[in-house]
Amino acid sequence: MEDFGSESFSEDRISSLPDCLLHHILSLLDTKEAVCTGILSSRWKNLWKSSLILNFHHQHYSSNTNSSNDDDDINEEQEEGDSEIESKEDDNDSENEEGDYKIGNENFFYESENEEEAEEERNFISFVKRSLALHNSPVIQKFRLSFKYSDRRFGFYVNDWILFAIERNVKELSLDFLHSSPHDYEVPSWLFNCHKLVSLKLKECSIQTPKSVSFSSLTTLFISDTEFDECMIQDILVGCPLLEELVLVRCYFEQDYELFICSSSPDPSKMMLKRLTIEKCDNSGLNVEAPKLEIMKISGSLMGKYSFNNLVSLKEAQLDFDSIEKDNNFGFPSLSVAEFHNATVLKLCSVCIQTEEESQMLHGFNEREYWDKLANQFTCLTCTLKTIEITGYIGQETELSDDSGNNIVTKVLQKIDNKIKFVRFLLRNAKVLEKMTIHIDKPHFVEEEEWPELAQKVAQDVEGKIKLSSGIPVELLFM
């Protein structure tokens, strides 16, 4: 390259950035990409070998994909939940395309296994092995691995790699097995006694209840797409005295398992848990008692008895149930949010105000009783609650749109009419409310092109009815 004009433009300033900055940059790349920068110049040749962060993502090694699809690395912590869901969906798609998973045919699957795939897996393994052999930093901060393997024996390599990281006092470990089942990677029990780990993320693997759990430094634990014993969670809560964040996504428990997130020690104030996320798990009921808990997000289907106790530090609660499921043992689910009285942000779905079974409501439903009961539940309304957000305002019923336009308007407005009472109830009872947001989704039975006009009518209608009751700003968002 010839330089033209200013001299400074022809000089390589990037390579003169300090090691720590270049390491930071390399840590955002897959280790394969980081290794490749070694060819740039002698300045770059050995940089990757002392990087404190190693990322091995199997999909970067397949011949038919290019390596630029890890979008969610920025602000990973904040978006963990969302990005997980997206990537999971992707996984499902690719699995369906392969189309080889057939129940009852498992024994044959691996014999007729795709040779190309196996080759890829072997390449990946040899890459990781060589990288680790050349890596020369005495400590590793983060070790991230995502690996989809079909040969059970490959799991042993994974154990070696984890050991490599642990011997270098790794603080953050993330393992994702990208739906390797039925040969699930079985997390070795010795991992559960790793005292230096601060953050552990396990995805799509199998966990046998370890003899003991002792993570004396662990503050963040993320488990997704995994099945485990009911006693595991208790062991974890006991064995992780510093645990501040627990995330469980699509975890499967034994049938009718009521999940207990409580301290087992006589002094519950020792429990450090500050953030709890439970997403689409199949627990029948939930019992949370965590005096330091600040943020709680629960989604999935409501089944069993949900009770909350001693949530004195709670600032934000999100409950988003997509369905109510009756359970043979517990009957109609029950949920009490009376404990959320300290929350300043409360996100609830309509299921949360369904205090009675529908059949009961039909036989002698007393409206006044209902509102009184609800007011007792929402004790937080009176003195602390400042933000209310209502989503899915119209509901998602699938009705055919063969009615005339007029009828649809009436239908939508009728649906809203029922709910306006609830909004009024909130506005009447929330003494320190600063803002209310109502998300109004397009109902299925309304055509896309009809929606803008209808939305306007809905807005007028809702605004007209709410304005009468209070001066609190209410924002309507149409989706």
Partner 1 sequence: MASTSNSTSSKIITLRSSDGEVFEVEESVALESNLIRRMMEDDCANNIIPLPNVTAPIFYLVIEHCKKHAEMKDNKEKKKELRSQGEELLKSDPHTYSNLMEAVNYLDIKSLMDLTAQWLADFLKGKSPRLIRELLKIKNDFTPEEEAEILERNRWAFD
* Contacting residue, 96, 105, 114, 126, with partner 1 by CB under 8 A: 126
| Axis-axis angle for helices 367-377, 405-429 (nearest 10) | 50
d(CA 479, CA 477): 7
The verdict on 17 binding partner 1 (CB under 8 A) reads yes
The verdict on 231 binding partner 1 (CB under 8 A) reads no
H or E, element range at 24: helix 19-27
Residue closer to partner 1 (CB basis): 44 or 330: 44
* Contacting residue, 19, 73, 86, 453, with partner 1 by CB under 8 A: 73
d(CA 479, CA 455): 9
Residue closer to partner 1 (CB basis): 9 or 156: 9
* Contacting residue, 5, 64, 74, 406, with partner 1 by CB under 8 A: 74
Give the total residue count for the chain. Answer: 479
d(CA 390, CA 404): 29
* Binding mask of the shown chain, residues 49 to 68, with x at each position contacting partner 1 by CB under 8 A: ------------x-x--xxx
Residue closer to partner 1 (CB basis): 36 or 375: 36
> In 350-478, where does DSSP find H-type helix?
358-362, 367-377, 380-383, 405-429, 451-467
* Binding mask of the shown chain, residues 104 to 123, with x at each position contacting partner 1 by CB under 8 A: -------------------x
The verdict on 351 binding partner 1 (CB under 8 A) reads no
Q: What is the largest CA-CA distance in the chain?
A: 88
Interacting stretch for partner 1, rule CB under 8 A, among 15-23, 189-197, 213-221, 357-365? 15-23
| Axis-axis angle for helices 154-167, 115-134 (nearest 10) | 20
Q: Give the alpha-carbon dihedral of 404, 408, 411, 416, to 10 degrees.
A: -160
The verdict on 295 binding partner 1 (CB under 8 A) reads no
The verdict on 4 binding partner 1 (CB under 8 A) reads no
Interacting stretch for partner 1, rule CB under 8 A, among 37-45, 199-207, 326-334, 465-473? 37-45
d(CA 464, CA 456): 12
Q: Where does this chain bind partner 1 (CB under 8 A)? A: 1, 8-18, 20-21, 24-26, 28-29, 32-33, 35-45, 61, 63, 66-68, 73-75, 123, 126-127, 130
